[in-house]
Chains A and B, each alone.
Chain A
Amino acid sequence: MNLTGMVRPYGDTTGDGRVQLSFTLPVPFTGETERARAEGAALQLAAKMGMDPAMVVHAKGMGPDFTFFIVYGRVSHLVDLSAVTVTEREFPVLASSEVNLRIRSALGRKLVVVGACIGTDAHTVGIDAILNVKGHAGEKGLESYREIRVVNMGAQVAVPDLVARAAAEQADAVLVSQVVTQRDAHISNTQEMSAAFGAGFGTQRPLLVVGGPRFDPRAAHDLGVDKIFGRGTTPREVASYLVHVLAPQEQEGAA
């Protein structure tokens, strides 16, 4: 199969370019005139999206002000496979069962994660979304992973307490979330934390992971941490990253 050439969507014949689309417009569908105008509006949108010809196969008024449409049509666009760029994530996102399996086989014990909001930040939304069983975006938090032991210290944790707890729990990784960004508090707090872990543990420090909506994910090195997660991160991504670094898979070909 040619994976570098030009392709079109496939309906039932090669090259027919057929697609389906559904959407809602804030237009009424109440009387005859309104219906005609609504369908015309839907066709105009389809045409502007490159569907030609397009056919409204279903239109339905939803309340007095909205109409829902299903449109089938042919798109004129070509897909140039040679121009598709794939950005490789540095680690694969794994299912929770795979995460557990990797920890069991690579570590032979539970992976220990200590989490906290540091400084004056009382917004535990981020750390709780990642750690609580309840989780975030339909994914359970790290507490739900059988092979991960979570110590969630909550909000307003002082950096020395975090370092001491990480040592006492023999943490493999420390997760810190920072929501408050007044006077760049998230930056200075993170730097203070990474310096304290450096001073307390030397090169044997746990993996340091920070998250928050205002961090630049590329700034990990400058802040002295191993990884920064931004807005919209899910528990599974964090778990996958942890095992990628802390519970690497045996090399192919190894016994």
Chain B
Amino acid sequence: MTGKLNLDPALVAQARDLARLAGQPVVEMARTHTTVSVERAVLRLGGLNGADSDGMPWVNRLADAVRESVGLEHGVAVPVWDAMLTGGYPDLLTLAIDAGAGLVKFRIPSGGEADAARETARRSVKNGLSRIDAQRRERDRMLAATSDPPMPWIYLIVATGDIYEDIPQAQAAAREGADIIAVIRSTGQSLLDYVPEGATREGFAGTYATQENFRLMRAALDDVSRELGRYVRLTNYASGLCMPEIATLAGLERLDMMLNDCMYGIIFRDINPVRTFIDQRFSRQVHARAGIVINTGEDNYLTTADAVDAAHTVVVSQLLNEYFGREAGLADGQLGLGHAFEINPDVPDSFLLELAHAQLIRELFPEAPLKYMPPTKHMTGNVFAGYLLDAFFNLCGVMTDQSILLIGMMTEGIHTPFLSDRDLALENVRYVRRAAGNLGASFRPEPDGFVAQRAQRVLAESVDLLRTIGAQGLLTAIAEGTFGVTKRPPDGGRGLDGVVEQAGEYYNPASELLEAKP
């Protein structure tokens, strides 16, 4: 695609180089550390699920027991599968129950016994990965049997707190035209250091992400996909303290997209930066294997900071998300980089600025299924003005060839959407697509006009910021409040006690298999 913005290819290449240089030390840290959630994900891939009578998952019970007994620096795999072999356990669940009751003595075996434990662990985890591979093939089969809708995909949210209410709402939204259904999670789930179990009917402003809820919703959307002859994708949220596990469950239950940002948890949820970077790497390796498209959360920066002043922080974060994503094995087609239409409508030329930002991101990431988020910050409660703003958002989205449009609600910030709000929102986007869907092909901003110059300036500011981040180190930059407005030091935030430096003989069969060339 020929660019419309006259971007300097050398500057674009320099921006990518700087992002790589800033990210490399963090990747090195992630390679040499593990977390409780990475280890629990290994157990989940090994086939352990379910929870005890208090609702605490068995993977937590077993990983905690191993940690108490021999530490996690060797990984859970060797001590767990060694205990399986020496204790003659029929399955992980029986072992976990005994371990939870303090009946299992774990050890780090050596020599032939260590080899045997590693071999059995690898075989069990490989079975889990095979189930993820089978789900990936099943998605391809469903896409062939139904159809893959053209972009931009229409992304709609359901969030009742009750999975059995979510299901009919999601099916109704799909029938009304949604290509993607996102089930918003319960407030605060990202801060839980375990994944709740089972079908859930109570949540705060959202529905818990559980394996069973994933399964129920995917099955319901498969039904409606067949009915409509169009594959309806399902999205949930990996970010938080349990990224590796939720990514694993998403792969096992054939979710299609996952919110997965390299820094969202750090900035907006005060999750420890080290924990987050380790967890995001493993979780993205799983997403890569599962064929899941990630969605990143750069839109959030613009709800905190001014959308004009902070435009370059979005680009910087996208370049970092791209580097970390590719390093973890994601293809460009799996990088649903996020951004948003959040400029104050009172600013002169605000629509031109939005066009410049959206087109810049389109040209920087030509293969990425970009996710474009509607206005939220300047939705005032005046639903009529909000409907107009949403139409301009839709117009900017189709003109700049965005891939995924999250549909704006005129009642944003007032209440969870009424059925009619959603219907009106879809009417809005349908009109804009019908009327102006091909406008992008005729849209040629003047080479040195306002739009092109603005885009070039944002790119230049991004390069400057990346240079600063490279000089001080990404963790220091985060500690000093470069993203969002909050300072997040590497030794602060939630979940640091779940980070463990790997010992020399650390073994993780999942990482080994995920990193092996296919």
Contacts and interface: CB of A to CB of B under 8 A. Distances in A.
Interface of A: 22-24, 60, 62-63, 66, 68, 123-125, 128-129, 132-134, 136-138, 140, 143-144, 146, 152, 154
B: interface residue count bin = 20 to 34
Interface of B: 172, 175-176, 187-188, 191, 204, 267-270, 300, 303-304, 376-377, 379, 412-413, 418-420, 423-424, 484-486, 494
A53 to B, nearest CB: 23
Given A62-B176, A124-B188, A128-B188, A143 B486 contact: yes
Contacts of A152: 270
B484 A133 contact: yes
B423 A68 contact: yes
Nearest to A136: B187
A24 B304 contact: no
A66 B419 contact: yes
B187 A146 contact: no
Given A24-B419, A62-B176, A66-B419, A146 B269 contact: no
Contacts of A154: 494
Given A24-B419, A62-B419, A138-B412, A144 B188 contact: no
Contacts of B300: 134
Contacts of A132: 268-270
A138 B413 contact: yes
A60 B267 CA distance: 43
A151 to B, nearest CB: 10
Contact of B176 (A63, A133, A136): A63
Contacts of B304: 133, 140, 144
Q: Give the most central of B175, B420, B424, B486: most A CB within 10 Å.
A: B420
Contact of B268 (A24, A133, A138): A133
B191 A133 contact: no
Given A63-B175, A124-B191, 8 more contacts: A24-B420, A129-B187, A137-B413, A138-B376, A138-B412, A138-B413, A143-B485, A143-B486
B420 A125 contact: no
5 contacts: A24-B420, A123-B188, A132-B269, A138-B413, A143-B270
A85 B58 CA distance: 57
A63 B268 contact: no
Q: What 5 A-B pairs come out closest when comparing CB atoms?
A: A138-B413, A125-B188, A134-B268, A68-B420, A62-B423
Nearest to B188: A125
Contacts of A62: 176, 419-420, 423
